[in-house]
């Protein structure tokens, strides 16, 4: 007589591939880091420009009574501030979650 599925023991098979990040493992890693650093710098410079424009639109909308322009300037300023926060904290965020990921077993 066959056993019901609920009576079968649960067998867990876990396989550890043994892969971990290794610094200097690939040629060109320093070039890739330099490119990513340059992209991050370009993003930060672009955010400074976006923030300046957004604050100008906000001020212009406020002083001319253009409520739509004022609202768009506020939104732009908040988005630019959030982008600056994300770009500045990108390395720390990745490092935090990478370290958190190593604790999963």
Domain-embedded: residue 55: yes
Tokens representing 19 are: 């892969």
Provide the pLDDT for residue 20: 77
Domain-embedded: residue 4: no
Domain-embedded: residue 19: no
Looking at per-residue pLDDT, the higher value among 29 and 43 belongs to: 43
Domain-embedded: residue 38: yes
- Least confident piece of the model among 22-26, 39-43, 83-87, 89-93: 22-26
Domain-embedded: residue 60: yes
**How many folded domains does the chain comprise?**
1
Q: Per-residue pLDDT tens for 65-86? A: 999 999 999 999 999 999 999 9
The domain of 51 spans: 28-101
Domain-embedded: residue 23: no
* Confidence (pTM): 0.71
What mean pLDDT do residues 35-40 have?
94
Domain-embedded: residue 33: yes
């Amino acid at each position: 007589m066959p056993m019901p599925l609920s009576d079968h023991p649960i067998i867990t098979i876990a396989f550890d591939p043994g892969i971990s990040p290794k610094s200097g493992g690939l040629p060109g890693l320093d070039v890739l880091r330099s490119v990513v650093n340059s992209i991050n710098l370009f993003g930060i410079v672009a955010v400074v420009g976006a923030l300046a424009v957004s604050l100008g639109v906000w001020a212009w909308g406020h002083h001319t009574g253009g409520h739509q322009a004022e609202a768009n300037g506020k939104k732009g300023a908040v988005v630019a501030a959030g982008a600056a926060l994300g770009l500045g904290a990108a390395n720390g965020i990745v490092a935090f979650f990478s370290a958190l990921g190593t604790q999963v077993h």
